[in-house]
Amino acid sequence: MTWSIIATWNFSIDGVKAAAEFVAKGGKSLDAVEMAAKYVEDDPAADTIGYGGIPNLEGEVELDAAIMNGEDLSIGAVMGVKGYKNPISIARKVLTDSPHNILIGQGAEEFAARNGFEKTILLTDESIRKWLDAKKQLAEISKENKGCNKANHDIYGHDTVGIVALDTFGKMASGTSTSGLAMKHKGRVGDSPLVGSGFYVDNYIGGAAATGVGEDIMKGCICFYAVQLMKEGYSPQEAAELAVKKIHDRLFEKNGKVGNIAIVCADNKGNFGGAANHEGFEYAAASDKTLPTIYKVKPVI
């Protein structure tokens, strides 16, 4: 029986292992995506996702997450949610139990409370320390740049857990979860909870999930694009590379600079791959043919 699970970054390896075991035993792809994301959301060492995520400029942890069912293309997404450590599960509840695709901020929090999710303090000693340190660095930069703080996230970075799963029934799902860019402005939303940009999946073809600077990723709707490339016959690896390269080149041509962009792709036959426009991108994946492994990616540019 063919199955696969792939997720961005090496911090997702434990979630991938657990989800792989689950799917191999007949678990469903939508559950596997939620399970893998929760592993990372619960881990304070993954400091750009869920509990322990680096706060925004004002010291609040605002989370974005989304999940998509490749069977009927249903979507659930939440944006700017505070006080809940598993936004992926709230997103899934939006998918199954709300008449809408996306809920934001207070509306998403009230929806979570109504549906029995428990409030949690997401700040940790470590994330407070990082925030205070980043504030200090920003004050210095702002003095030098006359108040310009365009590249706040360069100080403490950003990452997303983005997942695509194929189960033994041939059904696929994808999802993302992130606290977004460190030291982002209050209310800022990146690509991660935006369908087509941060994630996409269709059982008939495959799925994709992205990580990197959302402000650039969303300009190319990279995940929808990668899935369309797989539909045209490209393998997941080829689709990932081509999608990253095309979008990178286009943005570079227009602006002379591009933020980090990385993507993972999987098709409905158990093949998967990943690509990035920068050094250091890794993803974790497993399938009926491969044990859970962390893959290092060479930049396509």
Question: 19 or 217: whose CB is closer to ligand ASP?
Answer: 217
Query: For ligand ASP, which residue of 214, 220, 236, 292 counts as binding (CB under 6 A)?
Result: 214
Choice from 191, 202, 241, 267 touching ligand ASP (CB under 6 A): 191
Residue among 160, 176, 178, 211 flagged as catalytic: 160
Q: Which is nearer to ligand ASP, 85 or 219 (CB)?
A: 219
The CA distance from 107 to 56, in Å, is 19
- Is residue 177 close enough to count as binding ligand ASP by CB under 6 A? no
160 assigned to active site: yes
User: Which range, of 50-58, 85-93, 212-220, 286-294, touches ligand ASP by CB under 6 A?
Assistant: 212-220
Q: Does 167 participate in binding ligand ASP (rule CB under 6 A)?
A: no
Nearer to ligand ASP, 19 or 54 (CB): 54
Binding test (CB under 6 A) with ligand ASP, winner from 29, 160, 268, 271: 160
- When the beta carbons of 8 and 86 are compared against ligand ASP, the nearer one is 8
In the complex, minimum distance from the CB of residue 168 to ligand ASP, in angstroms, rounded to a whole number = 29
Q: Give the one residue of 69, 174, 177, 192 binding ligand ASP; rule: CB under 6 A.
A: 192
State the catalytic residues.
160
Residues that bind ligand ASP (CB under 6 A): 158-160, 178, 180-181, 190-192, 211-214, 217
